[in-house]
Amino acid sequence: MSKHGYYAEWIRDLPEADIAFPGVKGWISQARDHQVVFMDIDATGDVPPHHHGAQWGVVLEGRMELTIGGETKVYGPGDSYSIGEGVVHAARFLSPVKVIDVFADADRYSPKA
């Protein structure tokens, strides 16, 4: 980890995602047909149930509880998860969390204006 943050400076120089959840910050690496978002999440509580296109992620640091399609598990460093297209999921952050999420939707998040 650099002295200025978890992610390398060149990652933090990527466009910041416009994310509606308080305490959640992300940087977008945009591809033609998908997005990669480097997330930095405070222990903010719950993200309510929602759905969108397919998502895959890996936890780098911290612990979070994910409910995917009605099944709840706790994920920690090194754990990955896969959420199918349209599957309802929710999250609870048990500590500050760093994750990398890959979204099949190329427009999952817009850059902040």
Question: What average pLDDT does the segment 51-78 reach?
Answer: 98
For the chain, the domain total comes to 1
In a domain? residue 85: yes
For 57, counting Cβ atoms within 10 Å of its Cβ (0-12 exposed, 13-18 middle, 19+ buried), the class is: buried
What span, in angstroms and rounded, lies between the C-alpha atoms of 23 and 59? Answer: 17
Q: What mean pLDDT, rounded, does the chain reach?
A: 94
In a domain? residue 78: yes
Q: Which residues, at least 6 apart from 24, have a Cβ–Cβ distance to it below 8 Å?
A: 39, 40, 41, 42, 44
For 86, counting Cβ atoms within 10 Å of its Cβ (0-12 exposed, 13-18 middle, 19+ buried), the class is: exposed
Question: What average pLDDT does the segment 91-102 reach?
Answer: 96
Question: What average pLDDT does the segment 92-110 reach?
Answer: 96
pLDDT at 2: 46
pLDDT at 26 over 90: yes
Place 43 in a pLDDT band, splitting at 50, 70 and 90.
confident
Q: Write out the residue range of the structural domain in which residue 16 sits.
A: 9-103
Stretch (H or E) spanning 29: strand 24-30
Percent of the chain with pLDDT over 70: 96
Question: What average pLDDT does the segment 48-71 reach?
Answer: 97
Question: What average pLDDT does the segment 82-86 reach?
Answer: 98
What's 11's DSSP letter? H
Place 4 in a pLDDT band, splitting at 50, 70 and 90.
low
What span, in angstroms and rounded, lies between the C-alpha atoms of 69 and 29? Answer: 27
In a domain? residue 88: yes
- CATH code of the domain containing 87: 2.60.120.10
pLDDT at 14 over 60: yes
pLDDT at 44: 77
